[in-house]
Structure 1
Amino acid sequence: MLKLALTAAISMMLVFEPVAAEAKSKGRTAVVKRIKVKKHEPAKLVASDNRQRLVRRVIKVRGKRKVVYEQVRRAAPALAILSAGDLAGLNLTHDPLALRSSVAYVLDQDSSEVLFEKNSSVALPIASITKLMTGFVVVQAHQNLDEILTVTEDDVDHHKFTSSRLQVGTRMTRGDLLHIALMSSENRAAAALGRNYPGGINAFVAAMNAKARELSMNNTHYVDSSGLSSQNVSSARDLAKLVSMAHHEPLLRQYTTDPNYVVEAGGRALRYSNTNYLVAMPDWNIGLQKTGFINEAGRCLVMQAMIQGRNVVMVFLDSKGKQSRTADAGRMRRWLEAIKPPVIPAAAAAGVPVTVSAGAGVGVGAAPLVQ
């Protein structure tokens, strides 16, 4: 009797206890709950909600097979996280190239002629594009790239809890940390670079902001060396200035465009890859680049590239979709290869405010959010 009672109790627990499991189904989370079903009754219990169904399962209870039914309800799609650009309505701005980026700016590097612009004066979060200024400050300060630095707990991301392959205690040269920070957007590497600046991270951030003022990046402000904070903001016009100046530094050109790199960390070799796959494409001639992403910023990309014999700086901010920023770069390149000035943008027909520069430039604009 005791054995039967115990078996019954376990069976009841298995029948009524919610299952602590989640399953992925077409990008949605399926919430599973086990329910008690009488024999021949499952068909009656199929819910009218088309997101809910019953699944037959065979389990073992004390070594014996038992048939149970699980009520599976597919969760509604999660609400999309709005970026700062979305909240400002920049995603509603149309352009003649149908870019997925809310902000775009393309500049002839040699003549400073604006070739294309869209919301280019709006200051938005820039995510890991911040690291380009981090690298610029390190190189301009002529810090010893062979000095061994140690990753500490202070370099761990307690803001967005991003992961890292650099364990606390890892010892590495400043040059290698700079390399993987720029090429692979390694957050702990960028944090360690800022922390090991004379005066510490606060002095480093102050140097970043001083450099921004020196370059007349008036819509730019930094609060950390990694870009994890959404308070690191800039405009596309400002970032084009940074890209143009950073392109003069051979080390930044090399580190940002290497397809991959191997570092020694704790006695083991770690292979890092570039976050921008375009650097390995033979049909691209990229001189400098940096990617970035946090939810508040969307997908971001800055690049210097040679297109049709012309040195071009491209900036794309708040792009929607994992590959959309590089796809926008491809759209822009094809457009630049095809245009013959002057070009009158098709966006004008849609009632979008458009300006045309003295050359072939196209502009679609909005007022800046931050001055």
Structure 2
Amino acid sequence: MQLFRRPVVSRMFQWVGLCVVGLSLALPAAQANERKREPAKKTASASNTKARKPAAAPVRTAARSVKAPARVAYTPARPSFGQMAGLHLVSDPLDLKSSVALVIDQDTQEVLLSKNDHAVLPIASLTKLMTGLLISQSGLPMDEMITITEADVDTEKGSSSRLSVGTTLTRGEMLHLALMSSENRAANALGRTYPGGLESFVVQMNAKAKLLGMTDTRYVEPTGLSSRNQSSARDLATLVNVAHGDPLLRELSTSPSYEVALGRRTLHYNNTNGLVRNPAWEIGLQKTGYISEAGRCLVMQAHIAGRKLIMVFLDSAGKFSRLGDAERVRTWVETSSGLRSSAAPSRPVKG
């Protein structure tokens, strides 16, 4: 009996095993079929929904919710006064990028190079050279403390400054920052604290210009932010010649960098004219300037090839082109011994 039952039991286990295997194979197939039917149910449900609601409504709602890409209006750069006057169309032997240029031998007053030198244009922060000259010659104490006020904040161009309202520095420090790094609030504070106030200071700026014979020059404020501060290359060469005779202006304008302590903070300023850090240059006095109406401007007194030269560049097109023009002039003087290329002589530099 035992011999008979063993095969039967064996066959029974085989049958059960086959049933289990069959179920294991059938279950995934059934689940797959169920997954296939689910999208169909969703589709049917969506169809029923569309039948109940107009199909166009969601589309119109979606169309209203999508915003078109914002358009950014292109604002072209404002042309300078020199560009509007066509001064850049005038050529010169050195292919300068400045529309106005003048190079004069300081000792002999010989004009080595001139280009539109009588044109009267905005002079931007070259204005600060006259501001510095008046302050230096005023006899006011350089160690007197001056505080930046709301009156010194630029409302002309909206320019920024690291000298916040309430900052207090000496007059000498303010003058240093105005000449070296063209600090507008410092320059305005210098004029505001002049005896008689800002209005009196501007009167003195114009009186000084007249005394020096700068007949093309007019000042309305001490920073140069206003385009109504205007002059010619001829007048500016006169101013550079006089300012170079002031030891304080020579020192402060050519300082490569300067630090001022404000409580726990120390502010580091650099000269706006990178040429003062170039060992190839021997610069006795300098000032840079820029507003859109004036273009890039630069005045300098420098020793080149054994000569003391006064250089004026106005309305230069390009951030570094005024420095490039100075380099072109230096190379030209060194290689040609400063042979004059100006078309015609002009009145001598006064001062």
Q: Is 2:327 the counterpart of 1:277?
A: no
Structure-2 separation of matches of 1:211 and 1:170:
30
Question: Which residue matches 1:193?
Answer: 190
Deviation of 1:86 after TM superposition, in Å, equals 1.0
Structure-1 separation of matches of 2:227 and 2:171:
26
Q: Note the 1:136-147 alignment, pairs <5 A.
A: 136-147=133-144
**1:229 partner amino acid:** S
Q: Is 2:138 the counterpart of 1:88?
A: no
Residue by residue over 1:199-255, the C-alpha shift from the partner in whole angstroms, topping out at 9 and shown as x without a partner, is: 000110111111101110000000000000000000001000100110011110111
Aligned to 1:166, what secondary structure does the other structure show?
A: coil
Deviation of 1:122 after TM superposition, in Å, equals 1.0
Q: Is 2:249 the counterpart of 1:252?
A: yes
Aligned to 1:318, what secondary structure does the other structure show?
A: strand
Question: Which residue matches 2:343?
Answer: 355
Deviation of 1:76 after TM superposition, in Å, equals 7.7
Q: Is 2:208 the counterpart of 1:211?
A: yes
Structure-2 separation of matches of 1:341 and 1:130:
29
Structure-1 separation of matches of 2:168 and 2:182:
18
Deviation of 1:79 after TM superposition, in Å, equals 2.1
Structure-1 separation of matches of 2:338 and 2:152:
49
Runs of 4 or more consecutive aligned structure 1 residues displaced over 6 Å after TM superposition: none
Deviation of 1:12 after TM superposition, in Å, equals 4.2
TM-score (norm 1): 0.74
Contact 2:305 2:337 in 1 (8 A): no
Aligned to 2:132, what secondary structure does the other structure show?
A: helix
Q: Note the 1:35-54 alignment, pairs <5 A.
A: none
Structure-2 separation of matches of 1:156 and 1:319:
27
Deviation of 1:17 after TM superposition, in Å, equals 2.8
Aligned to 2:343, what secondary structure does the other structure show?
A: strand
Contact 2:333 2:339 in 1 (8 A): no
Q: Is 2:97 the counterpart of 1:100?
A: yes
Which of 233, 236, 239 is matched with 1:242 structurally? 239
Aligned to 2:226, what secondary structure does the other structure show?
A: coil
- Highest CA radius of gyration, 1 or 2? 2
Structure-2 separation of matches of 1:341 and 1:273:
31
Question: Which residue matches 2:230?
Answer: 233
1:265/1:97 CA distance change after superposition, 3 Å: same
Question: Which residue matches 1:17?
Answer: 67
1:328/1:12 CA distance change after superposition, 3 Å: same
Structure-1 separation of matches of 2:258 and 2:164:
18
Question: Which residue matches 2:296?
Answer: 299
Q: Note the 1:36-185 alignment, pairs <5 A.
A: 78-185=75-182
Structure-2 separation of matches of 1:280 and 1:202:
36
Deviation of 1:160 after TM superposition, in Å, equals 0.5
1:266/1:187 CA distance change after superposition, 3 Å: farther
Deviation of 1:265 after TM superposition, in Å, equals 2.5
Aligned to 2:169, what secondary structure does the other structure show?
A: strand
Structure-2 separation of matches of 1:341 and 1:147:
45
1:342/1:198 CA distance change after superposition, 3 Å: closer
**1:355 partner amino acid:** A
Structure-1 separation of matches of 2:319 and 2:281:
20
CA RMSD of aligned residues (A): 2.0
Return 5+ residue gaps in structure 2 as ranges.
1-57, 347-351
**1:95 partner amino acid:** D
Q: Which structure has the highest strand share of the two?
A: 1
Contact 1:217 1:238 in 2 (8 A): yes
The number of equivalent residue pairs is 288
1:14/1:109 CA distance change after superposition, 3 Å: farther
Identity score, percent: 56
Aligned to 2:221, what secondary structure does the other structure show?
A: coil
**1:189 partner amino acid:** A
Contact 1:145 1:174 in 2 (8 A): yes
Contact 1:307 1:333 in 2 (8 A): yes
Structure-1 separation of matches of 2:64 and 2:117:
59
Question: Which residue matches 2:28?
Answer: none
Aligned to 1:316, what secondary structure does the other structure show?
A: strand
Question: Which residue matches 1:25?
Answer: none
1:342/1:160 CA distance change after superposition, 3 Å: closer
Structure-2 separation of matches of 1:165 and 1:99:
34
Contact 2:300 2:310 in 1 (8 A): yes
Deviation of 1:282 after TM superposition, in Å, equals 0.5
Deviation of 1:334 after TM superposition, in Å, equals 0.6
